[in-house]
Amino acid sequence: MTRTTYRFREQTLNPHTGEDAERTLFAMECKGCGESSDGTEWGEDGSAWAVEHLKANPGHLTYREHITRSYRFEAGAWL
């Protein structure tokens, strides 16, 4: 019979901010018709899109924000 020893390591999930991280994107979606803005790095751009969409579609009053952000695990101490 073989004997095996295991070591465990703490891991922490954090937003990935390194140079190789994908950029964070913000987009707005109209819940009335499903149309959405293009994802941009600036949250205000989605708000501006929603204002313009409301002007063109006065009955579309509810929106959803989508945020796409990279995360990665970072190794911690060995247990």
Domain ranges of the chain: 22-69
Per-residue pLDDT 10s for the chain (79 aa) are 789 988 899 999 999 999 999 999 999 999 999 999 999 999 888 999 999 999 999 999 999 999 999 999 999 999 8
**Close Cβ partners of 22 (under 8 Å, ≥ 6 residues apart):** 16, 68, 70
DSSP letter string, 16-70: --STTSPPPEEEEEETTT--BPPPBS-HHHHHHHHHHHHHH-TT---EEEEEE--
56: amino acid identity, one letter: A
For residue 76 the two structure tokens come to 């911690």
Q: Is-contact 74 2, C-beta < 8 A? A: no
